[in-house]
Amino acid sequence: MLAFVVRRLLQAVIVMLAVAFISFMLFQHVGDPVTHLLGQDATPEQRTQLRADLGLDRAVPLQFARFVRNAVRGDFGLSLRQGRKVSTLIAERLPATLELAITAAVLALGIGVPMGVIVALRRGSVLSQLLMTVSLLGVSLPTFLIGILLILVFSVGLHWLPSFGRGEVLSIGGWTSGWFTVSGWQHLVLPSITLAVFQLALIMRLVRAEMLEVLRSDYIRFARARGLSDRAVHFGHALKNTLVPVITITGLQLGSLIAFAIITETVFQWPGMGLLFIQAVSFADVPVMAAYLCLVALIFVAINLAVDLLYFVVDPRLRPDREVAHG
């Protein structure tokens, strides 16, 4: 287990260095930060002094080493558009994005897994056909179109829910959350559903396919031959072995929810990192773009490591002690 964790950590370091290099190259090829910070009217002396302060007068390898060292400390410099520290901007926007992504993930798992089980166990029924049709729509429709349709129905037509913003939030130790206010939940419903629809449909279809495959396996037939009830067979044996690939997809999709919440945040003007990134791209705000790329890569790496470790919890066959015992 220790060797496995060390190997995964080394791979994570390599991935993060590669992402850091890509982010660093943005500074080299997307505009001149000195011009952005000082403007066109700056004197040559001012430009030279700022270049020295930013380390831009050094060799490229030294600049990259400085960039990595600062990135490890969470220091990505100043936003070229707002003139504030990038780390401060990210810290302000991160709670909103995590709140949206976690809510969407809970919806996708809480609804997708039971729906997948129902569709697998009731093949050919009207309910199964209806759920498969709904899942096909969820996979096929673009996220922005789902968001616009929800706004049209529930905000414009029925006036039940707000169409933009985050609502009232509470600050707990510097962390803001709308989970503890009525207004926060009202603003969270539509964007979280929009973000969850694709993941929900994907998880449902995956659970269905894996469940059907597991139900055809030999050990399920042996469990039935022992006289176990359908409930014990379906939920004690089949569903448990279905969860391994589901964990993989869910882990990767959670990272995707955070990374690709950009569209949902733009449609609903949700004040998260995705909206900040879109604004940064519009103004070529390279420090914010670089920080976003590095943070998303770190989230993906951390989630992948957690998913790999969960394999040993869910599937006992993967545990090293069992390999030794069988050896």
Amino acid 57 reads: D
Residue with tokens 């729509």: 137
Q: Phi, psi (5° rounding) for residue 41?
A: -90, 5
Higher-confidence residue of 136 and 226: namely 136
Task: For residue range 10-61, list pLDDT tens digits in order.
Answer: 888 888 888 888 877 876 666 666 666 666 677 777 778 777 776 666 777 8
- pLDDT over 60 (residue 321): no
Contact status, residue 220 vs residue 213, Cβ threshold 8 Å: no
Highest mean pLDDT among 148-157, 241-250, 287-296: 148-157
Provide the pLDDT confidence category of residue 153 given band limits of 50, 70 and 90.
Answer: very high
Provide the pLDDT confidence category of residue 302 given band limits of 50, 70 and 90.
Answer: confident
Q: What is the mean pLDDT of the chain?
A: 79
Which of 301, 316, 194 shows the shortest CA–CA distance to 243? 316
Contact status, residue 195 vs residue 264, Cβ threshold 8 Å: yes
Highest mean pLDDT among 4-18, 219-233, 300-314: 4-18
Amino acid 75 reads: D
pLDDT of residue 325: 43
Which of 165, 177, 172 shows the shortest CA–CA distance to 95? 177
Provide the pLDDT confidence category of residue 191 given band limits of 50, 70 and 90.
Answer: very high
Distance, CA of 30 to CA of 290 (rounded, Å): 11
pLDDT of residue 312: 64
User: Rounded mean pLDDT of 102-119?
Assistant: 86
What would the two tokens of residue 195 be?
């973000």
Which of 25, 47, 41 shows the shortest CA–CA distance to 294? 25
Provide the pLDDT confidence category of residue 189 given band limits of 50, 70 and 90.
Answer: very high
- pLDDT over 70 (residue 202): yes
80-89, 219-228, 267-276: least confidently modelled range: 219-228
pTM over 0.85: no
Helix (H) or strand (E) holding 176: strand 175-177
pLDDT of residue 38: 67
- pLDDT over 60 (residue 75): yes
Provide the pLDDT confidence category of residue 311 given band limits of 50, 70 and 90.
Answer: low
Provide the pLDDT confidence category of residue 138 given band limits of 50, 70 and 90.
Answer: confident
User: Rounded mean pLDDT of 230-251?
Assistant: 68
Buried b (16+ CB within 10 A) or exposed e, 23-37: bbeebeeeeebbebb
pLDDT of residue 81: 74
Provide the pLDDT confidence category of residue 256 given band limits of 50, 70 and 90.
Answer: confident
pLDDT of residue 255: 74
Sorted by sequence, the CB contacts under 8 Å of residue 306 that are 6+ apart come out as 251
Which of 132, 134, 105, 136 shows the shortest CA–CA distance to 118? 132
22-36, 87-101, 109-123: least confidently modelled range: 22-36
Instruction: Enumerate helices (H) and strands (E) in the chain, giving the number of each.
Output: 15, 2
Provide the pLDDT confidence category of residue 324 given band limits of 50, 70 and 90.
Answer: very low
Q: What is the DSSP letter of 43?
A: -
